[in-house]
Chains A and B, each alone.
Chain A
Amino acid sequence: MAALINVPARANAGDIIEIRTLTSHIMETGFRHTADGKLVPRDIITNFTCRYNGVEIFRADLFPAIAANPYLSFFTVVNESGKFEFEWIGDNGYSTTASASITVE
């Protein structure tokens, strides 16, 4: 559930800003076995989306090769104040969201 979002609080119009996100998730690969030989079922986050004032600015497909507690950093140009919305979707109906605001001058 817990997600850490790092977005600058303010920026100038036209600036390129870095957005960093970290969410807690085990990212069980589905390739591991228990000591008695049973396959541990896959449980990963498969999709991540970031929207800026409703418009998608970044999207990712994730696979079991992404480390536990997925960290993502990416960039965008900001032209207006508004809200970033983040969404993580995964196996077994996993879904979580977060948001962050920015003031653009």
Chain B
Amino acid sequence: MPTTRRQFLSLAGGVTAAGAIPIVTLRPVEATPAALAIAIRNALGEATIRNGKVRLDIPPLVENGNTVPMTVSVACKMTSTEYVKSIHIFNEKNPQPNIANFYLNASSGRAQVSTRVRLADSQKVIAIARFADDSLWQASAEIVVTLAACTEEMN
């Protein structure tokens, strides 16, 4: 019995659909906002995090998520009693919520750190500074990413 065009097309469509399912499931689970909250609590404890003092400089629109320049600076005099102990960077939608932790001290002079990060999606990035008195201050930024990082296939 010759195969009709209609039969052939429906068969081909079925194979394509079946083949597509594993590709979808292979994508890593994104860090959800809940995972983000847990990561922040694991790193910093239960203390209240206030907005302010921290400045997060990151481009609002990024073409390539594989390398995004980022600078965190904290308004702090950096004296022997009042200084920033650490700066923690988190994201909302990469496969893992952590980006980096930086540890400073009273002789750092200026509480400012720059690096380059990967962003797997358009999302929010959060920077939190822990002061010497253990108070926590945060800033966040929304970034639109055109080409995502991290999850693409390797050739």
User: Which residues does A use to contact B, with CB under 8 Å?
Assistant: 16-17, 29, 31-35, 37, 40, 57-68, 70-77
Q: Given A35-B155, A58-B104, A72-B115, A64 and B110 touching (CB < 8 A)?
A: no
The 4 closest A-B pairs by CB, nearest first: A16-B109, A73-B114, A67-B116, A75-B110
Tell me which residues across on chain A come within 8 A of B116, comparing CB atoms: 66-67, 70-71
Q: Given A58-B104, A74-B102, A76-B107, A37 and B22 touching (CB < 8 A)?
A: yes
Q: Given A33-B153, A35-B155, A71-B114, A66 and B109 touching (CB < 8 A)?
A: no
Q: What 1/0 flags go to B93-111 for Cβ under 8 Å of A?
A: 0111011111111011111
In this complex, what residue of B is CB-closest to A65?
B99
Q: Is the CB of A57 within 8 A of B105?
A: yes
Q: Nearest Cβ distance between residue A73 and chain B, in whole angstroms?
A: 4
Q: Nearest Cβ distance between residue B93 and chain A, in whole angstroms?
A: 11
Tell me which residues across on chain B come within 8 A of A59, comparing CB atoms: 102-103
User: Which residues does B use to contact A, with CB under 8 Å?
Assistant: 22, 26, 28, 66-68, 71, 91, 94-96, 98-105, 107-119, 149-155
Given contacts A29-B118, A63-B100, A75-B112, 10 further A-B contacts (CB under 8 A): A59-B103, A61-B101, A64-B118, A65-B119, A67-B116, A70-B115, A71-B114, A72-B114, A74-B102, A74-B108
Tell me which residues across on chain B come within 8 A of A74, comparing CB atoms: 102, 104, 108, 112-114
